Amino acid sequence: MPFAVFRRHQRKLLAIFAILAMFGFVLADSLPRLLSGGYGGRNQNPPVVTLYHRTVYRGELNQMAQQRNVANLFMAQLLGRAPFGDLKDRSLVDALILQHEADRLGMPTGPEVGREWLKQTFGELMNRETFEAILSRLGRQVSGEQVLSDIAGQVRLLKVRQLLGGPLVTPLDVFQAYRDQNERASVRAASFPVEDFLAKVPDPSPSELEAFFDRYKDVLPDPARDTPGFKVPRQIRVEILSIDGNALARRIKETLTEPELLSYYENRKSEFKQPSEFPGEIFAGHPELTPPRYQSFAEVRPYLATSLAEEKAQAEIVSKFEKIKDEVIIPFSDTYHDALDEIKEAKKEGKTPRATLPRFEPLKHVAQREGLEYDDSPLLTREQAERYGEVAGAEVGLSRLSGGPKFAAEMFDPKATLFEPEELTDVLGRRYLVRKVEDHEPRVPSLQEVRAEVVHAWKVEKARPLAEQAAREFADQVRGGGGQIKGDVVQGRPVITTDPITKLQPGFPIPGQLFETGPPTATEIPQIPNAGEALRDAYFDLQNGAVAVAPNQPRTVYYVMTLNSRDPAKFQSLYTPNGESLRYQREARGEAYRRREAEWMAQLRTEAGLKPDWVPSDEANRAAREG
């Protein structure tokens, strides 16, 4: 039935609908009236935030989103990217704050401002023909004057962000950027795990335990956080059918015959054309005078055998998967969802449902029949799914390195429904046919259900001061002994010696921007997982003879650290002829700009009546909703 077909392909269709909706959002001539709250009253136009003692409704945010969307669509044709920011509520509220500041300062706007900015920014590249060509791609209902006005509106917001001017960047700032990516430090560290001190903490009283549970019962757990969470996260269970594509290709390769390979060679012969020393048009109109030369069958036979075997293996896997989907998975999925829809509709109408859900049958017998491996997973959280066996690294699609979503991302996608088949491939060539058979939303458990976990978390909180005290007492001993941790074992615990590493690593190249890279990223400390900013700062600031005490990010281990070695970054090396001083100057300036802009935006939010780090409630709670 049509709805079943839609459901089967809903993610692809929804992606197409989203693109169409984006253009509809830009093009609809009646949309501005709708967005202003002119239809449906305030029930259709809810309040979002209060700025400058005035309530801002959803329609006002949507008008800003429309302006930004049009400007971004136009600029994307020129730059290959959207330069004016995203359409999240936080960004749009910031845009309204910046607009208020621009209005207060009397900054001009309108089509002429947009036209002049394009002329100054792009020079001769932006002429009438280019403008009209881009405009035609946006649709006839978007006028040139409207596009120029929307661009001007977004440009003035950028100008407000830059009102404080360029930050001061000194040679010391540039050297610090260079040093963070080139100076290597290694430390010796003695660890004091909090777990080792739990035995010294008495059990909590019933009232203490209940109060502790109530404080964190609606919080999802996060191993990187130093506070607990007892809410049960979203969990799924999946069935996985898989086959080793490379092993199948090797078996097929051994059975290939010479006639098969010769036929394959003849069909693909044009791919093995050898380059000629003469230009192709030397005898134009008489190709027979320069017949093409090809690599011989013997020369390309090994490649042909491998390629043909892989094609046959791929075809066999596709055939197996399609057969299982068409005969088993999709019919069951359609029946299940049709029955589920009928049951929901009957309940909505207050009637007794006639439909019943079909009986679930595992795919194990299907896998055995088709010669596939079978796995029925336990209930998995998102974090567990990201580490669940070989399939965790597989991507959607039947070709390696397809770039599709990975297993966990696909299975936890809000649009991924129960019993729908999904095909994935990992880098080693193993193919997977997966279906989700259980999906449980996050829930708040009873105290009795998670009592042991709550007791443990309570004890961890009480044991932290004991672990920190022990670490600081040992640090005092190390200082008294000359500032070096000696030996390989301290109080029965092994001493860690870290690899020499830099504080930061160069940023990744930005697609479409030649020689441009993103901001530097923090270097992981392999021997100290979940280091966190406090520990990293202590690590990289260590000097000879100094002793530092710092916990990891979740405060489950306290470390006493002394410097083992430091390979310093020399100032003169920064400006060698083949050095990268310009890159470090650019990165130092970019970091200063980001810091200045964040401080300026925090100040403007405060003046508007918000907290400096304000985040909309829906964005703040998204992780809790998704589990």
Residues 387 and 477 in one domain: no
Q: pLDDT confidence of 113, banded at 50, 70, 90? A: very high
Q: Looking at the structure, tell me whether residues 427 and 504 fall in a common domain.
A: no
**Which amino acid is present at 191?**
S
Q: Are residues 406 and 543 in the same domain?
A: no
Under DSSP, the state recorded for 169 is -
Phi-psi region of 165 (alpha: psi -120 to 50; beta: other; left: phi over 0): left
The verdict on 201 and 240 lying in the same domain is no
Domain count, the chain: 3
pLDDT at 17: 45
Q: How far apart are the first and last CA of the chain?
A: 33
Query: Are both 115 and 248 inside the same structural domain?
Result: no
Nearest to residue 248, comparing CAs of 184, 300, 313, 301?
313
Q: Are residues 354 and 302 in the same domain?
A: yes
Axis-axis angle for helices 144-161, 89-105 (nearest 10): 90
Q: Which helix (DSSP H) or strand (DSSP E) does residue 373 occupy?
A: strand 373-376
Of 440, 468, 495, which residue constitutes the final position of a domain? 440
Continuous H helices in 47-110: 58-79, 89-105
**Cβ atoms of residues 448 and 421 within 8 Å:** no
pLDDT at 23: 42
| C-alpha to C-alpha distance for 217 and 441, rounded to whole angstroms | 15
Which residue type sits at 135?
L
Do 391 and 463 reside in the same domain of the chain?
A: no
* pTM (two decimals): 0.66
Residues 453 and 379 in one domain: no
CA 214 to chain centre: 32
Instruction: Count helices and strands (H / E) in the chain.
Output: 23, 16
In a domain, 382, yes or no: yes
CB atoms within 10 A of CB 95: 22
Percentage of residues in the chain having pLDDT higher than 90 = 54
**Is 245 found in the same domain as 142?**
no
Task: Please state, rounded to an integer, the average pLDDT across all residues of the chain.
Answer: 85
Same domain for 470 and 355, yes or no, is no
Alpha-helix residue ranges (DSSP H) falling in 349-505? 364-370, 382-385, 407-411, 451-480
Q: Report whether pLDDT(32) > 50.
A: no
pLDDT for 21: 44
Residue pLDDT, tens place only, 317-364: 999 999 999 999 999 999 999 999 999 999 988 888 888 899 999 999
User: Is residue 191 domain-shared with residue 247, that is, in the same domain?
Assistant: no
Indicate the pLDDT class of residue 510, thresholds 50, 70 and 90.
low
Phi, psi of 213 (to 5 degrees): -65, -45
- Is there a contact between 238 and 467 (Cβ–Cβ < 8 Å)? no
Contact predicate 487/474, CB 8 Å:
no
Supply the pLDDT for residue 527: 95
Residue 142 is part of which domain span? 25-163
Other C-beta atoms closer than 10 Å to the C-beta of 31 total 16
Q: Burial letters for 517-551: b for 16+ Cβ neighbours within 10 Å, e otherwise?
A: eeebeebebeebebbbeebbebbbebeeeebbbbb
The answer to whether residue 560 sits within a structural domain is yes
Is the confidence at residue 511, as pLDDT, over 60?
Answer: no
DSSP string covering 330-349, please?
HHHHHHHHHHHHHHHHHHHT
Q: Which of 542, 567, 592 is the last residue of a domain?
A: 567
Residue 593, Cβ neighbours under 10 Å: how many? 16
**CA-to-CA distance for 470 and 490, rounded, in angstroms?**
12
Q: Give tens-digit pLDDT for 61-102.
A: 999 999 999 998 888 887 777 889 888 899 999 999 999 999
Q: Is residue 11 part of a domain?
A: no
For 288-301, what is the mean pLDDT? 70
Q: At what angle do helices 245-255 and 297-324 cross, to 10 degrees?
A: 130
* 72 falls within a domain: yes
Quote the CA–CA distance of 571 and 589 in Å, as a whole number.
Answer: 18
For position 1, what pLDDT does the model report? Answer: 43
Task: Residue count of the chain, please give it.
Answer: 627
Nearest Cα residue to 525 out of 541, 546, 503 = 503
Q: For 124, phi and psi rounded to 5 degrees?
A: -70, -15
Q: Report if residue 261 sits inside a domain.
A: yes
Asked if 408 and 485 sit in the same domain, the reply is no
Residue 423: which residues within 8 A CB-CB, separation 6 or more? 321, 396, 397, 398, 431, 432, 433, 434
In a domain, 52, yes or no: yes
Q: Please check whether residue 606 lies inside any domain of the structure.
A: no
Top pLDDT among 200 and 296 is at 200
- On whether the CB atoms of residues 416 and 231 are closer than 8 A, the answer is no
Structure tokens at 134: 């881009």
529 vs 36, higher pLDDT: 529
Tell me which of 450 and 278 has the higher pLDDT.
Answer: 450
Give domain status of residue 230, yes or no: no
